[in-house]
A and B are shown apart, each in its own frame.
Chain A
Amino acid sequence: MTVVSAQRRGSLLGVVDRFWRKSDYRMTVINNDVDVPAIYARTQDGFQVSLIVADKGQVHFDVDSPCVRHSEVADSTSQATAFLAPDAELIPRPNIHSDFWSATRS
C-alpha cells in the first residue's frame, strides 16, 4: 500500500477534490482535520465516493453504488498491485515506496 507522505497529502487531496468538483460530484461532508482529512461526495447518478486518510497516513478510496437489488458481486479480475496474504485480517499499513507520493521534500 503506497506511502503518501504528509508533504504530498495536500496535493493528492487537491487533485481529487478538483477532479470530483469538475465532474459535477456533490460534496456531502468534508473533514478538514490535518491528520485524518476526508472528502465524501455523491455522483450525479447516485454513487457515493470517498477519500479518507486514516492511521499512518493510509489513504482509502471507496466507491459505493446506489440502491440496487441485492446480488452477489464477483471478485475483481484485475491483479492487485500489492500482495495481500489470503489469511490477512487487516489491510497492511502503507509499506510501498513511490518516488513521487512518498517524497518528504516538496
Chain B
Amino acid sequence: MSGRSGGASSGLTWSVLREVKCAELEQAADGWGRVSNRADAARDRIEGQLLPGLRDTQRGEAPDAAVRGLRRLGMNFQYIYTECGLLRTTLNSLAHEIKTQQRVLQGALDDAAALRFTVHADGSVTYPAAGEGLVDGKPLAGGTASGVPNPGMVPPSGLVAPNPNAGKAQDIADRVAQAVRAAADADWRYTRILRSLKAHEGLGVPVATWTDAAADAAAVRDAARGYLRDAIPHDASPAERKAWWAGLTDEQREEYLAVYPDRIGNLDGIPALVRDAANRDNLQLLMGKLEGRDDDDSATKLAALREIDRQLRAGPKAGEPPMYLLGIGDQGNGRAIVSYGNPDTARNVAAYVPGLNTALDKEFAEGDLKRARDLSIASNRHGAPAAAITWLGYDAPQSPDGLRSLAVAADGRAEEGGRAFHEFMGGIKAANDHEDPHMTAIGHSYGSRTVGGAAQHPGGIPGVDEIVFVGSPGVGVDSADDLGVGRDHVFVGAAANDVVTKLPSKAESVLGVAGVGFGGPAAAYAFGDLVDRRNDDVWFGRDPASEAFGARRFEVGDGPPLIGRGKPTIDAHSEYFDPELDKASVDNMALIAAGRSHKIKTEDAR
C-alpha cells in the first residue's frame, strides 16, 4: 500500500483495497509476536536462572563482569520483547482497520451488484434509467454518481433528479469513497508508527532508547485503541475481569501485555503473576518516560522507581518472600503496590495502607515497602503461607505541618482512597486460589482513616476478616462495630508516646490551633489537652484506642517520649512496623494477619 498522505487523492483505489491480503499482515504480526516471546523467555532465563546462579555461587572480578554482561543482555532482550510486541500489535491493528473498511466496501459492491449498477475504477457508480418523468411519463434517464468521502460536508440539493436509482447510486458511491478514504488514512497513520519503531544502533540500550520506547508504546496504544483497548473491562467487577482474562487466547494476552502493561498491571481481579509481569515492563517504560524530563516531581518519582527496580532485580534471598509488583504509576503523587509473597496462592493476605505525606519517593520505596516485607516474614513464621502488601493506590494528603492544615481536603482523599482500596481488595479476593482466604487490612496514621472509609461501603471491605489501626488519628467512625468485621476483629496499636493518636478533635483544635504556629504539633497537642482533658475524640472521630471505641488494643512499644532526647520528636508514630525498634508490635500484627489473633499480647484500652 502507499505511504503517501491520506485522503481520496492518495492513489488508493477501491479495487486495490479489496485485494489487500490482511491475512499476510496478521502472519507478519504473528512472526513478530514469536520473536517477542522468545526474547521474553530469554530474558526470564537470564534474570531468573543465570544471574541468581552466578551471584549465589561465584565471587570475584570475572563473575562480576559476567553479571554486568548478562544484565545488559537481559536489557537487550527486554527491549526486543517490548518493541517486537508493539510491532505485532501495530500490524494486527492495521489489519483490523483495513478489514473493517474492506467489509464496508464489500457491502457497497454487493448492493451495486444486486441493483445491476456499475462501479467504475474511480469509484463512481452508473445507474440505469428508471421511474417515470413528471411530464411525459417515460422512464428517467440513467446517470453516474460520484462518491463523496464526507457526505455531511455537501449540503443536499433540493433539485435532485427523481430517478429512484440516483439516490441509491449516490449512497453506494459514498460508501465506496468513505471506505477508500478511511483505509488510506489508516495506511498513512500506521506507516508513520512503523517507521518510528526503530532501535538505536549498537548493543547498548541507553536511557534515550527507553524514553523512545515509551513514546512508541504511546503511539501504538493510540492507534490500536479500537482494536484492543475497548475490550478491557474497566467497569466490570473483579470477578468478571478474572473471567475475562481467563477467556482470552494466549495471543490476545500477549498483545495486551505488550501494548497496555499499565492497564493490565493495575487491573484488579486478574492473576498476580500477570500483573507483576505487566508492571515490570511498565516500570521500564515509566523510567524511560521520566528520564526524559528534568522537573523535580519526575526526579523524585524516578528515584523511587529505580529503587523498586533495584529490589526487583536483586531478588529474594533463601527463606525470604519473593516480590510481586501489583501496581505502578506516575499519576498524581505516584502509585506503587508491592506484595511480598504471592497473594493468589497465600492463605493469609495482609495489605497495609500508608498515611499522611506518603508519596512515590525514595523514602517510600525503601521504608514503606520494607514494612510489608518485614510483616510478611513475621506472618510466615506464625501460620500458613502469607503475603503482605504495601498499597499506595491513592494520593495520600501531603502536608508538611501535619493534619491541621488539611482539615477540609482530608476526608475527601480518604473517601477516594477508600473506594480504590475497596476495589483492590475485591481483586485480591477474586484472584486468590483459596475458597475463603484470610485477609487483613492495616491502616497506619491517615491510612487508618482511608481503611475506615473503605469499610463504609456496603458489605465492608471485600474478603477482609481483620482490621488493624496503628498510630491512628481516628478512622471516621465512632465504634469498632461499624467496620463490617465485628468488634473482636478490630485491633489497635497506639504507642504511649505517639502524639498523632492523641491529636485533639477539630472542635477542640479551634482553641488549640493557636499553638501550631509557635511550637508545632507538640505544642498544639499540649494546648488541645489543656482545652479538653480526658476526651475520647481525636482528629477523625473517636480515638480507636479508647475503651468506648471497643477495639482490641495490642501491645506496642511506648516509643521515645515527645520531648526526651533534647528536642521534640514524633518517632513514636513510626515505629509500629519496624522490627528493629518495636518487634512486639510487628509480631502482634503478624499473629493477626496469620489468623491467630487470640494469641496476641494485649494492652488495656485508654
Question: Contact residues of A with B, CB < 8 Å?
Answer: 28-31, 33, 35-36, 38, 40, 48, 50, 52, 54-55, 58, 60, 62, 64-65, 84-91
Q: If the complex has contacts A55-B381, A55-B594, are A86 and B56 also in contact, measured as CB distance less than 8 A?
A: yes
Q: Give the chain B neighbours of A40 by CB distance below 8 A.
A: 583-584
Other A-B contacts than A50-B583, A89-B319, 15 sampled, CB-CB below 8 A, are: A28-B557, A29-B557, A29-B601, A31-B555, A31-B599, A36-B596, A36-B599, A38-B601, A52-B381, A54-B381, A64-B583, A84-B318, A86-B56, A90-B380, A90-B385
- Whether B24 sits at the interface, judged by CB under 8 Å, is no
Contact partner, A91, options B316, B319, B341, B599, Cβ 8 Å = B319
User: Is there contact, CB below 8 Å, between B587 and A52?
Assistant: yes
- Contact pattern, B 317-335, Cβ under 8 Å of A = 1, otherwise 0: 0111110000000000000
User: Is there contact, CB below 8 Å, between A86 and B318?
Assistant: yes
Q: Which residue on A lies nearest to B384, using beta carbons?
A: A55
Measured in the bound complex, the distance between the Cα atoms of B385 and A33 in whole Å is: 22
Q: If the complex has contacts A36-B591, A86-B56, are A29 and B319 also in contact, measured as CB distance less than 8 A?
A: no
User: Is there contact, CB below 8 Å, between B599 and A62?
Assistant: no
Q: Smallest CB–CB gap between B307 and chain A, Å?
A: 13
Q: Give the chain A neighbours of B601 by CB distance below 8 A.
A: 29-31, 33, 38
Measured in the bound complex, the distance between the Cα atoms of B382 and A28 in whole Å is: 21
- Whether B7 sits at the interface, judged by CB under 8 Å, is no
Measured in the bound complex, the distance between the Cα atoms of B56 and A33 in whole Å is: 39
Measured in the bound complex, the distance between the Cα atoms of B321 and A80 in whole Å is: 19
Measured in the bound complex, the distance between the Cα atoms of B432 and A84 in whole Å is: 27
User: Is there contact, CB below 8 Å, between B599 and A33?
Assistant: yes
Q: Give the chain B neighbours of A35 by CB distance below 8 A.
A: 599
Which residues from 254 to 308 on chain B have a C-beta closer than 8 Å to any C-beta of chain A? Answer: none
Which residues from 576 to 592 on chain B have a C-beta closer than 8 Å to any C-beta of chain A? Answer: 579-581, 583-584, 587, 591
User: Is there contact, CB below 8 Å, between B318 and A87?
Assistant: yes
Q: Smallest CB–CB gap between A27 and chain B, Å?
A: 11
User: Is there contact, CB below 8 Å, between B557 and A88?
Assistant: no
- Contact pattern, B 379-406, Cβ under 8 Å of A = 1, otherwise 0: 0111101000000000000000000000
Q: Smallest CB–CB gap between B408 and chain A, Å?
A: 38
User: Is there contact, CB below 8 Å, between B584 and A38?
Assistant: yes
User: Is there contact, CB below 8 Å, between B584 and A91?
Assistant: no
What would be 19 A-B contacts, judged by CB atoms less than 8 Å apart?
A: A28-B557, A31-B555, A31-B584, A31-B599, A31-B601, A33-B599, A33-B601, A36-B599, A48-B580, A54-B381, A55-B382, A55-B383, A65-B580, A86-B56, A89-B316, A89-B341, A90-B319, A90-B321, A91-B381
Q: Which residue on A lies nearest to B578, using beta carbons?
A: A64
Q: Give the chain A neighbours of B380 by CB distance below 8 A.
A: 90-91
Measured in the bound complex, the distance between the Cα atoms of B591 and A3 in whole Å is: 21
Q: Give the chain B neighbours of A48 by CB distance below 8 A.
A: 580-581, 583
Q: Give the chain B neighbours of A65 by CB distance below 8 A.
A: 580
Measured in the bound complex, the distance between the Cα atoms of B29 and A63 in whole Å is: 57
- Whether B52 sits at the interface, judged by CB under 8 Å, is yes
User: Is there contact, CB below 8 Å, between B599 and A84?
Assistant: no
Chain B interface residue count, Cβ-Cβ cutoff 8 angstroms: 28
Q: Give the chain B neighbours of A60 by CB distance below 8 A.
A: 381
Q: If the complex has contacts A29-B601, A55-B383, are A38 and B587 also in contact, measured as CB distance less than 8 A?
A: yes
Q: Give the chain B neighbours of A86 by CB distance below 8 A.
A: 52, 56, 318
Q: Give the chain A neighbours of B579 by CB distance below 8 A.
A: 62, 64
Q: Give the chain A neighbours of B581 by CB distance below 8 A.
A: 48
Q: Which of B52, B322, B385, B583 has the most CB of A within 10 A?
A: B583
- Contact pattern, B 487-508, Cβ under 8 Å of A = 1, otherwise 0: 0000000000000000000000
Q: Which of A28, A29, A35, A62 has the most CB of B within 10 A?
A: A29
Q: Give the chain B neighbours of A58 by CB distance below 8 A.
A: 381
Q: Which residue on B lies nearest to A32, using beta carbons?
A: B601
User: Is there contact, CB below 8 Å, between A85 and B318?
Assistant: yes
Q: Smallest CB–CB gap between A7 and chain B, Å?
A: 20
User: Is there contact, CB below 8 Å, between A89 and B321?
Assistant: yes
User: Is there contact, CB below 8 Å, between B383 and A29?
Assistant: no
Measured in the bound complex, the distance between the Cα atoms of B599 and A28 in whole Å is: 18
Q: Smallest CB–CB gap between B406 and chain A, Å?
A: 31
Q: Smallest CB–CB gap between B466 and chain A, Å?
A: 17
Measured in the bound complex, the distance between the Cα atoms of B223 and A18 in whole Å is: 72
Q: Smallest CB–CB gap between A60 and chain B, Å?
A: 6
Q: Which residue on B lies nearest to A60, using beta carbons?
A: B381
Q: Give the chain A neighbours of B599 by CB distance below 8 A.
A: 31, 33, 35-36
Q: Smallest CB–CB gap between B386 and chain A, Å?
A: 9
Which residues from 153 to 189 on chain B have a C-beta closer than 8 Å to any C-beta of chain A? Answer: none
Q: Give 6 nearest A-B pairs by CB, closest first.
A: A29-B584, A54-B381, A64-B580, A31-B601, A36-B599, A91-B319
Q: Give the chain B neighbours of A52 by CB distance below 8 A.
A: 381, 587
Q: Give the chain B neighbours of A54 by CB distance below 8 A.
A: 381-382
Q: Give the chain B neighbours of A30 by CB distance below 8 A.
A: 601
- Contact pattern, B 124-146, Cβ under 8 Å of A = 1, otherwise 0: 00000000000000000000000
Q: Give the chain A neighbours of B321 by CB distance below 8 A.
A: 89-90
Measured in the bound complex, the distance between the Cα atoms of B581 and A16 in whole Å is: 21
Measured in the bound complex, the distance between the Cα atoms of B583 and A65 in whole Å is: 12
Q: Give the chain B neighbours of A87 by CB distance below 8 A.
A: 318
Q: Smallest CB–CB gap between A44 and chain B, Å?
A: 17
Q: Smallest CB–CB gap between A62 and chain B, Å?
A: 7
Measured in the bound complex, the distance between the Cα atoms of B587 and A52 in whole Å is: 9
- Contact pattern, B 39-74, Cβ under 8 Å of A = 1, otherwise 0: 000000000000010001000000000000000000
